[in-house]
């Protein structure tokens, strides 16, 4: 009796169990751990390829021809990121587009890389791409790989890419936490979270060259989230409909944007209370604060300092002392802030020094 040749080509698993056909479905490119460029753009770890020339080899020295050539993929990606930022930006943009994030090329100054076809002859109403040509900024952003390649081909000088916010399927909301000009966006966001009683879930986090960070959240279809600068608090900018975030892997004049270590692979849904704050009507442009009512309630500042966890004590105390100075309550709250800081674990000497530093800044 002869065996069926079709059966001889099948490989039986132990116990006779066959592979689940669902396992052959295409994986989510964003969630899957892959040896591609996304993980390699996290902050360097000791096991990763060096990003500088070894001290024992001059910068101009050729590679050792006897050295092994089968380097890990992560080393190849690191070398590409250093030698060809435009190719790196395109690779990262295609990965983001594959995961459903509309992208467009950016220059080193973080501006759209393709100039408007209407420059010098502005359209009324403003053209947002209906003309069929490229050069409409965030309105060009696409998830179609052919369109993405076409945009980068039209802008070979692009060294980064932008991710459009507010667009389906993710309806991305970007929380830009700044550290420039004395601002501390992360501490300000933590204060808002404690003041309004909402959690800050782990979410995709991109580190900026200036020391800030971008938090990514998914939002609802409606209402659209408006872009704003400092409306929630000093140091907190919001990127919503019509705005964009600089994608991880982008190279700018100030450095490279990278994913934070151990960042989740998917953005978390925006907390409901934070969404309420984001969609609240903006305050009047020239509203004068009522006499005796500080912008930040004194009791909330004290609670914020008292609840400081290890690693945030000095930052929270300094931030609260700065807000007290801005409210004209610096001297009045010094003793209460010092007591709150001591309750959190700081010494009285450390607390007084931090408060004095905030007073000098004010």
Contact between residue 87 and residue 95 where contact means Cβ atoms under 8 Å apart: no
Residue 337 shares a structural domain with residue 302:
yes
239 lies in some domain:
yes
Q: What is the pLDDT of residue 284?
A: 56
Contact between residue 92 and residue 34 where contact means Cβ atoms under 8 Å apart: no
Q: How far apart are CA 210 and CA 178, in angstroms?
A: 8
Where the chain has pLDDT below 70, the residues are 1-83, 120, 122-124, 181-182, 282-296, 326-327, 361-362
346 lies in some domain:
yes
User: What are the phi and psi torsion angles at 163 (to 5°)?
Assistant: -115, 120
Residue 265 shares a structural domain with residue 329:
no
Contact between residue 226 and residue 232 where contact means Cβ atoms under 8 Å apart: no
pTM: 0.64
269 lies in some domain:
yes
Last residue of a domain, one of 119, 147, 164: 164
Residue 317 shares a structural domain with residue 250:
no
Please give the full DSSP string across 36-60, using - where no structure is assigned.
SHHHHTSPP-TTSPPSS--TTS-TT
For the CA atoms of 278, 281, 287, 288, the dihedral, rounded to the nearest 10 degrees, stands at: -50
Q: What is the pLDDT of residue 71?
A: 32
43 lies in some domain:
no
Q: What is the pLDDT of residue 6?
A: 46
Residue 129 shares a structural domain with residue 151:
yes
344 lies in some domain:
yes
Last residue of a domain, one of 164, 193, 217: 164
Neighbours of 139 (CB within 10 A): 17
**pLDDT tens per residue, range 338-350:** 888 888 888 888 8
Q: How far apart are CA 268 and CA 31, in angstroms?
A: 13
Token pair belonging to 100: 């459903």
For the chain, the domain total comes to: 3
Q: What is the pLDDT of residue 204?
A: 97
Q: What is the pLDDT of residue 144?
A: 96
351 lies in some domain:
yes
76 lies in some domain:
no
Q: How far apart are CA 259 and CA 226, in angstroms?
A: 25
206 lies in some domain:
yes
Last residue of a domain, one of 248, 280, 312: 280
Domain that holds residue 245: 165-280
CA angle 320, 213, 183 (to 5 degrees): 30
Residue 170 shares a structural domain with residue 252:
yes
Q: How far apart are CA 33 and CA 253, in angstroms?
A: 30
Token pair belonging to 211: 């020391």
CA proximity to 38, closest of 215, 268, 264: 264
Q: What is the pLDDT of residue 43?
A: 43
């Amino acid at each position: 009796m002869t065996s069926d040749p079709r059966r001889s080509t099948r490989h039986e698993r132990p116990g006779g169990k066959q592979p689940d056909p669902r396992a052959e479905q295409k994986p989510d490119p964003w969630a899957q751990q892959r040896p591609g460029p996304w993980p390699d753009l996290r902050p360097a770890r000791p096991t990763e390829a060096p990003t500088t020339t070894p001290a024992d080899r001059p910068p101009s020295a050729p590679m050792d021809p006897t050295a092994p050539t089968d380097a890990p993929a992560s080393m190849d990606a690191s070398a590409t990121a250093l030698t060809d930022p435009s190719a790196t930006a395109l690779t990262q943009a295609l990965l983001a587009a594959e995961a459903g994030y509309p992208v467009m090329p950016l220059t080193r100054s973080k501006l759209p890389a393709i100039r408007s076809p209407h420059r010098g002859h502005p359209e009324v109403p403003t053209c947002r791409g209906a003309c069929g040509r490229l050069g409409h900024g965030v309105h060009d952003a696409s998830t179609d790989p052919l369109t993405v390649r076409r945009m980068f081909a039209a802008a070979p000088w692009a060294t980064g890419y932008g991710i459009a916010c507010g667009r389906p399927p993710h309806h991305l909301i970007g929380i830009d936490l700044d550290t420039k000009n004395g601002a501390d966006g992360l501490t300000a966001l933590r204060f808002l979270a404690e003041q309004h009683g909402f959690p800050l879930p782990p979410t995709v986090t991109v580190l900026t060259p200036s020391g800030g960070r971008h938090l990514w959240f998914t939002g609802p279809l409606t209402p659209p989230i408006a872009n704003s600068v400092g409306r929630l608090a000093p140091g907190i900018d919001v990127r919503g409909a019509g705005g964009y975030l600089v994608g991880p892997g982008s190279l700018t004049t100030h450095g490279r944007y990278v994913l934070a270590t151990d960042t989740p692979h998917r953005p978390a849904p925006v907390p409901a209370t934070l969404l309420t704050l984001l969609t609240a009507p903006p305050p009047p442009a020239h509203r004068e604060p009522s006499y005796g009512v500080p912008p930040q309630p004194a009791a909330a500042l004290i609670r914020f300092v008292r609840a400081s966890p290890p690693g945030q004590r000095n930052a929270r105390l300094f931030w609260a002392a700065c807000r007290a100075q801005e409210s004209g309550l610096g001297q009045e709250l010094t003793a209460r802030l010092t007591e709150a800081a001591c309750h959190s674990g700081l010494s009285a000497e450390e607390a007084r020094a931090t408060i004095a530093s905030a007073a000098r800044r004010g």
